């Protein structure tokens, strides 16, 4: 076998290697500036060599890149020519991280940062002078490895050096980190499940075909990063939002069987959607993506770039790239039925609406109250204290009016929310039988104002929730419908508006499904995704219009199912 082939070369004519070249290989500049190979960084390098050889733990995972970077692990390595941002100290090369869960760490370190033994290779045919060898690839000498006929040591420095050179000749970046990341991609990004992780990415990208990029065969997965547009993998499942991937992480990894099963199942495609909770979107297969998934439209497209076996459809690649620029691949994201209905901005908007409502209520009520006060002329000007948290205050209720009532009692609605939780209670809201006599605890009219205010606010909120529920139901039904006729036009109804890439994704349910017609209720028009949901939940225009709330709010306000399809344009 190859034994001879290369083996013969090594140890290459050692003589050829003059003393000069004897500078330990580590002195070489692997950084890609191959030209500099011989540089003069004897300092660190030499020391390293000397020290590291016998000593285990060569801390520097990628010592090689040293030329400019201090050997310390944490130090970022000078950006490669291609400059992809900061390079992690990650030795992504071969020195593969122990567990997929953890960001690759320097060879000498454990998760907690405590020193650890460097990984030992088991090379038999490469003499540890090729990148196949983890040690060699990481720029360290073999030490305590199980390799056979190893030349990756001081004794064979000449040969080693030769190997390094030839390797660099082939690929100037051979010893450079494969993973690039943004400054934020700190080291233990990992598992934010699709979060930080994406900050880093494989420079070259992987080319996995069968592992679904969910096994350590995959360099990306191994480094615990998502596949990026750089990858040319097939049937990749290592993308943000990948159910499979998420299940792996959520199920907490490698150790548990579930993980393995999921991974395998997912990879083989055997499980189809079943493996995952609900609305399992059909698994993607190489060339064809079933566009069942709403995400499809947008996000899916991202994925396509890759899923489609990487590349084929060149057109797609772009999309993905865009997504990742900073965050990494943006691919299909699994979300609950309400995922797109309730969005952060919607929540904000809702808050605004509620505030507005509260404000209005306060205004009205206080007016009343003032009127009463005049009569009673209660000098209780003690307007002090703290109902700081009081919604009323937030809403803009003038303190002046707000008088103390420290022991402010809770309104029936509030009590209901706090103690009862029974929907009915909420529904009944204002109804008298709600019991808890608010008045009973009300010192003077003030509390009543609050109570009224709460009532109004809570009622609004209740309405919103109901609408959300409705939306969810509609969506659900659509979902099921769309599933039934996957092939049918429904899918085709891809939303017209380009929209935000991320936005669209919803779990299995193609948002597309919801066509205005069907959803007459809420969904306005194409802008659907954004629209429906909470926003609609918000109040009715009529009530809020006056308020000076933010644009969002206003938009929401419009949402009443019926009338104004105007909906949230803003959103």
Partner DNA sequence: GAGTTTGAAACT
Partner DNA sequence: CAGTTTCAAACTC
User: Nearer to DNA by C-beta: 118 or 560?
Assistant: 118
- Contact predicate 86/176, CB 8 Å: no
Residue where the block lists tokens 């330990």? 24
122 binds DNA (CB under 7 A): yes
Selected from 13, 113, 155, 170, the binder of DNA by CB under 7 A is 170
The answer to the question of residue 132 lying near DNA (CB under 7 A) is yes
Q: Enumerate residues 6+ apart whose C-beta is below 8 A from 510.
A: 291, 292, 293, 294, 295, 296, 297, 479, 482, 490, 491
Least Cβ distance, residue 2 to DNA (angstroms):
2
Among 58, 87, 133, 494, binds DNA (CB under 7 A): 133
Q: Residue 181 pairs with which residues in a beta bridge?
A: 86, 200
Residue-wise burial string across 478-510, b where 16 or more C-beta atoms lie within 10 A, e elsewhere: bbeebbeeeeeebbebbbebebebbbbbbbbbb
Say how far apart CA 436 and CA 459 lie, in whole Å: 17
Residue 530 near DNA by CB under 7 A: no
CA neighbor of 221 nearest in space, from 143, 104, 125: 104
Closest CB 6 distance from DNA, rounded Å: 5
Q: Say which residue the tokens 């499942």 belong to.
A: 237
Question: Minimum Å distance from CB 193 to DNA?
Answer: 18
Q: For DNA, which residue of 22, 57, 131, 271 counts as binding (CB under 7 A)? A: 131
Q: What are phi and psi of 179, to 5 degrees?
A: -105, 130
When the beta carbons of 84 and 401 are compared against DNA, the nearer one is: 84
Residue 248, C-beta contacts closer than 8 angstroms, at least 6 positions apart:
214, 259, 262, 263
Residues 463-522 that bind DNA (CB under 7 A): none
Residues 131-165 as b or e (16 or more Cβ within 10 Å = b): bebbbbbbbbbbbebebeebbbbeebbbbbbbbbb
Among 13, 184, 207, 255, binds DNA (CB under 7 A): 207
**Is 171 among the residues that bind DNA (CB under 7 A)?**
yes
Element (H, E) at 87: strand 86-87
Residues 26, 160, 204, 558: which binds DNA (CB under 7 A)? 204
Residues 503/298, Cβ–Cβ less than 8 Å: yes
Identify which range of 14-22, 169-177, 270-278, 351-359 contacts DNA by CB under 7 A: 169-177
**Is 441 among the residues that bind DNA (CB under 7 A)?**
no
How far apart are the C-alpha atoms of 547 and 5, rounded to whole Å? 82
Does 189 sit near DNA (CB under 7 A)?
Answer: no
Please identify, among the stretches 26-34, 120-128, 443-451, 476-484, the one whose residues bind DNA according to the rule CB under 7 A. Answer: 120-128
Quick check: 218 binds DNA (CB under 7 A)?
yes
Rounded to 5 degrees, what are φ and ψ at 181?
-150, 165
The residue among 124 and 285 lying less far from DNA, judged by its C-beta, is 124
Give the one residue of 28, 64, 128, 471 binding DNA; rule: CB under 7 A.
128
Q: Which residues 50-109 are close enough to bind DNA by CB under 7 A? A: 93-94, 96
Residue numbers at the binding site for DNA (CB under 7 A): 1-3, 5-6, 93-94, 96, 121-126, 128, 130-134, 137, 167, 170-171, 174, 178, 204, 206-213, 215-219, 222, 260, 264
């Amino acid at each position: 076998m190859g034994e001879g082939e290369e083996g013969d070369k090594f140890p290459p004519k050692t003589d050829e290697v003059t003393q000069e070249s004897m500078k330990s290989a580590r002195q070489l500049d692997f950084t890609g500036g191959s030209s500099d190979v011989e540089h003069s960084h004897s300092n660190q390098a030499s020391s390293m060599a000397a020290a590291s050889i016998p000593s285990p733990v060569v801390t520097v995972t990628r010592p090689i890149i040293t030329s400019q970077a201090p050997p310390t692990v944490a130090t970022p390595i000078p950006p490669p020519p291609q400059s992809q941002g900061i390079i992690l100290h990650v030795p992504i090369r071969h020195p593969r991280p122990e567990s997929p869960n953890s960001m690759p760490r320097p060879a000498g370190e454990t998760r907690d940062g405590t020193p650890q033994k460097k990984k030992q290779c088991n090379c038999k045919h490469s003499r540890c002078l090729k990148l196949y060898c983890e040690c060699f690839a990481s720029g360290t000498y073999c030490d305590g490895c199980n390799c056979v006929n190893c030349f990756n040591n001081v004794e064979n420095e000449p040969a080693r050096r030769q190997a390094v050179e030839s390797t660099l000749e082939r690929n100037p970046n051979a010893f450079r980190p494969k993973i690039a990341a943004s400054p934020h991609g700190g080291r233990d990004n990992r598992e934010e499940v699709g979060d930080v992780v994406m900050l880093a990415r494989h420079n070259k990208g992987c080319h996995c075909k069968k592992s679904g990029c969910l096994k350590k065969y995959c360099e990306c997965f191994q480094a615990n990063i998502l596949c990026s547009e750089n990858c040319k993998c097939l049937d990749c499942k290592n993308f943000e939002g990948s159910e499979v991937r998420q299940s792996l992480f959520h199920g907490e990894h490698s150790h548990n069987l579930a993980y393995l099963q999921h991974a395998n199942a997912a990879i083989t495609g055997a499980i189809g959607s079943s493996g995952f909770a609900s609305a399992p979107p059909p698994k993607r297969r190489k060339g064809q993506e079933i566009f069942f998934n709403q995400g499809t439209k947008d996000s899916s497209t991202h994925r396509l770039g890759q899923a489609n076996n990487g590349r084929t459809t060149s057109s797609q690649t772009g999309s993905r790239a865009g997504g990742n620029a900073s965050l990494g691949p943006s691919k299909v994201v699994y979300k609950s039925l309400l995922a797109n209905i309730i969005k952060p901005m919607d929540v904000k908007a809702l808050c605004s609406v509620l505030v507005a409502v509260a404000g209005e209520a306060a205004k009205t009520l206080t007016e009343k109250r003032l009127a009463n006060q005049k009569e009673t002329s209660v000098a209780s000007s003690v307007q002090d204290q703290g109902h700081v948290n009081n919604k009323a205050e937030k809403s803009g209720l003038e303190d002046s009016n707000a008088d103390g009532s420290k022991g402010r009692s809770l309104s029936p609605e509030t009590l209901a929310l706090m103690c009862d939780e029974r929907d009915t209670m909420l529904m009944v809201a204002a109804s008298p039988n709600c019991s808890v006599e608010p008045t009973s605890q009300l010192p003077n009219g003030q509390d009543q104002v609050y109570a009224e205010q709460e009532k109004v606010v809570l009622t609004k909120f209740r309405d919103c929730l109901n609408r959300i529920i409705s939306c969810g139901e509609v969506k659900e039904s659509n979902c099921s419908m769309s599933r039934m006729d996957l092939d049918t036009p429904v899918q085709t109804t891809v939303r017209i508006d380009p929209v935000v890439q991320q936005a669209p994704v919803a779990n299995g349910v193609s948002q597309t499904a919801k066509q205005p017609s069907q959803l007459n209720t809420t969904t306005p028009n194409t802008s659907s995704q954004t629209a429906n949901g909470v926003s609609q939940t918000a109040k009715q225009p009529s009530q809020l219009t006056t308020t000076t709330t933010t644009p969002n709010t206003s938009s929401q306000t419009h949402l009443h199912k019926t009338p104004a399809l105007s909906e949230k344009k803003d959103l």
